[in-house]
Amino acid sequence: MTWNTEIIAALIGLASAILGGIVPVVLHHYLSKKRGTESTPPPIKDSLAANISLMSALFGLVSLGLTSIPAIIAGHMALKNIQLSEGYLRGKKRAWVGLILGYIELFILMLAYNLYKLISWIFN
C-alpha cells in the first residue's frame, strides 16, 4: 500500500512541476495576445562609434590627418558593434566613410612625412 501512494505522490509532483512550468507561460502568452501587449523590440539607435569615426575623419581633413588614427579605431569598433547588435544599431555607412577617409589621411600623412625626410636628406 505504501508503494502505490509513493507512485501517486511522485506522479502528482511530476504533474505539478510540468504544469507549474507550462501554465504560467501559456497564460502569459494568452493574456498578452488578448490585451494586444505583445513584446516590442528595443528601439534602433545610432552607433556612437560610427559618429566619432566620421567626425574624426572629417576633422582629419582640416588637421592634416592628425585624427586619422582615432577615426580608424572608432570605425572598426563601430562595425564590430553594429554586427553584434543584430540590427539594433545603425550607422554602417558612416563607419565605412570614417574608415576609408581615415586610411586615406593616414596614407597621405605617411607619404608627406617620408617625402619630407627624403627632401631633407637630399639637401643636407
How far is the C-alpha of 42 from the C-alpha of 27, rounded, in Å? 24
Regarding whether 118 and 58 lie in a shared domain, the answer is yes
pLDDT, position 106: 93
d(CA 8, CA 21): 20
Check residue 113 and give its pLDDT: 92
DSSP bridge pairs for 46 = 90
pLDDT number for residue 42: 66
| 51 and 100 co-located in one domain | yes
Q: Are residues 66 and 93 in the same domain?
A: yes
Q: How does DSSP classify residue 38?
A: P
The length of the chain in residues reads: 124
Considering the domain architecture, whether residues 101 and 65 belong to the same structural domain is answered as yes
Domain that holds residue 29: 1-40
Distance CA 106, CA 72 (A): 9
Give the residues of the chain that fall short of pLDDT 50. Answer: 1, 14, 17-23, 25
Kindly state whether residues 35 and 51 are assigned to the same domain: no
pLDDT value at residue 19: 47
Predicted pLDDT of residue 7: 60
pLDDT for 17 equals: 47
| C-alpha cell, 55 | 567626425
Q: What is the C-alpha to C-alpha distance for residues 93 and 60, in angstroms, rounded to an integer?
A: 18
Number of domains, the chain: 2
Closest of 88, 12, 82 to residue 53, by C-alpha:
82
* Pair (8, 33) in one structural domain: yes
Model's pTM, two decimal places? 0.64
Number of helical H runs and strand E runs in the chain? 4, 2
